[in-house]
Amino acid sequence: MFPTFLIHNSSLDSFSGGTAGPAFFGLGVRDSIVIILIVDLVFCALPAILAVFGPKLGMRSMVQSRFSWGYYGAAIPSLLNVFSLQGFLIISCILGGQALASISSHLDVSLGIVIISLISLVLTFCGYRVVHWYQSVAWVPNVVAFITMLALGYPQLHENQSVSVPPATPAAVLSFASVLASSILSWCTITSDYGVYHSPATSSIFIYCYLGFLIATFTSSALGAAFAAAAPSVAAWSAGFDNSSSVGGLVFAVLGPAGAFGTFLTAMVALSIPSSCILAMYSVGTSFMTVHPWFAAVPRWVHVLISEGVLVPVAIIGARKFYTTFVDILNVIGYWVAVFVAIVLVEHILFRRASFTEAAYPVTSWATPSLLPSGIPAMLAFLCGCGALVPFMSQAFYVGPIAHMGTGDIGIYVGFVVAGIVYAVLRGTEKWWGPESKVRPASGDVGRPQSEFQGDL
């Protein structure tokens, strides 16, 4: 699992997240890197915690959510997760398309998006085991490219340290932190999907995943912030960055002095983007199958083809305004995922006693509505959390009244706290007045139910 998360976060996705600090929020490189470090240290723990659920329970993330959201209520996060994964596919394909377009005059961003999406589609059909092997080696070109960028660009990066920047505003700091946090939080809905084949007795899953996220995300994001902050002072970088709209162009501009080797590395970085896409495409199918039994009866490859059909045209349109698309997608994902994580963690810690025993999680009841929670507390907490965060939103399409006063976008933090408190009260009341299940744990291998959610594509 370490290489799986290391490769994704050692890619252009995390690099682009760091560039948003200077390019979109007007922050200096020092402020950006400090914010990145603090956010990563705190928020990387959340997907790592939820990654432990996969080996322990043997269930995909959205199936696990039934133990807090109920059988029918789990359809809500499952459907939202499908849209969120599509959002990340759009961002990733735009980044890959930009990188491919920058290395050849015969390619434009639209064609690059098509190429990246088709490669991702083919790899997705290879199944989890091939995907896991691919993830274990695909990070190498990215690491080589980032090291080369640092070596080539160090003089310019060093000179940029003396360039004065306006003081960071609280609104810019909090909004940038929200974008970074949203990017990390989005993993919470799929991390356990990639641990279901590990033994329940596997130890140190949390440590491996946390380090995989932290090391790769911080390094890539910090590099992105440094190069984006220095780009206006370097003519070639500024031209490649194309008015802060092409992260792939910036990468190629920095690697340009390396000649053919730089072009090769840029191509490899672009072609590593499918390593991010295949995880999202893989989980689109499993999430869709949890929405309703009808969808579970449809082969997962059909869901993947539908995802591909939606991805290409939307990514081509979104590429025209990259940072607006990037920030809006990440924050919207972050809003609902923050609420979702609060509910799942409160259920696990307060009501399941942080235990993975059969008494805590009677996994054989995963498909029996009467033996699962009603889901009403989760749905009400979700509505309260989402409602409470609206005044704190700051998006291109809407700025809440409190965010308009200069607080920046702090919706994910408000939603997380409100949803957690409301769920704790309502769920506690539900358990007090009527336990949702009288089932007795069955004997057998803890957490390894056989269902249509298991197996490869």
Sequential pLDDT tens for the chain (457 residues): 544 555 556 678 888 889 999 988 989 999 999 999 999 999 999 999 999 998 899 888 999 999 999 999 999 999 999 988 888 888 889 888 988 988 887 888 899 999 999 988 888 887 667 776 777 777 788 889 999 999 999 999 988 776 777 888 888 999 999 999 998 998 899 888 877 777 777 778 888 889 888 988 999 999 999 999 999 989 999 998 887 778 889 999 999 999 999 999 999 888 888 877 887 887 888 888 888 888 888 887 888 888 889 889 988 888 877 767 777 787 888 899 999 999 999 999 999 999 999 889 998 889 899 889 999 999 999 999 999 999 998 877 788 899 888 888 899 999 999 999 999 999 998 888 755 544 444 443 344 544 444 444 4
Task: Write the DSSP symbol of residue 140.
Answer: H
Query: pTM (2 decimals)?
Result: 0.87
Closest CA to 412 of 333, 326, 334: 334
Angle at 20 between CA 249 and CA 318, to 5 degrees: 65
Does residue 441 lie within any of the structural domains? Answer: no
Determine contact, residues 218/5, Cβ cutoff 8 Å: no
* Residues 304/286, Cβ–Cβ less than 8 Å: no
CA–CA separation, 90 and 186 (whole Å): 14
Domain-embedded: residue 113: yes
Q: What distance lies between CA 393 and its chain's CA centroid?
A: 19
Residue 455 domain flag: no
Residue given tokens 């990440």 in the structure block: 330
Domain with 371 in it: what CATH number? 1.10.4160.10
SS3 content of the chain, % helix, strand, coil (to 5): 75, 0, 25
Total domains present in the chain: 1
Would residue 444 count as lying in a domain? Answer: no
Enter the tokens of residue 233.
């002072």
CA angle 103, 108, 109 (to 5 degrees): 95
Kindly write down the DSSP assignment for every residue of 99-146, as one continuous string: HHHHH-TT--HHHHHHHHHHHHHHHHTT-HHHHHHHHHHHHHHHHHHH
- Residue 46 parent element (H or E): helix 45-51
Judged by DSSP in three states, 94 sits in: helix
* Bridge partner residues of 399 (DSSP): 394
List beta partners, residue 394.
399
Domain assignment present for residue 438? The answer is no
Is 443 part of any domain? no
Say which amino acid occupies 421: I
381: its two tokens: 């907490």
E strands along 168-260, which residues? Answer: none
Q: For residues 165 and 102, what is the distance between their CA atoms, to the nearest angstrom?
A: 29
Range of the domain at 268: 2-433
Q: Please check whether residue 330 is in contact with residue 316, taking contact to mean a CB–CB distance below 8 angstroms.
A: no
- Domain annotation covers residue 137: yes
In this structure, is residue 236 part of a structural domain? yes
Q: State the DSSP string of 318-341.
A: HGGGHHHHHHHHHHHHHHHHHHHH
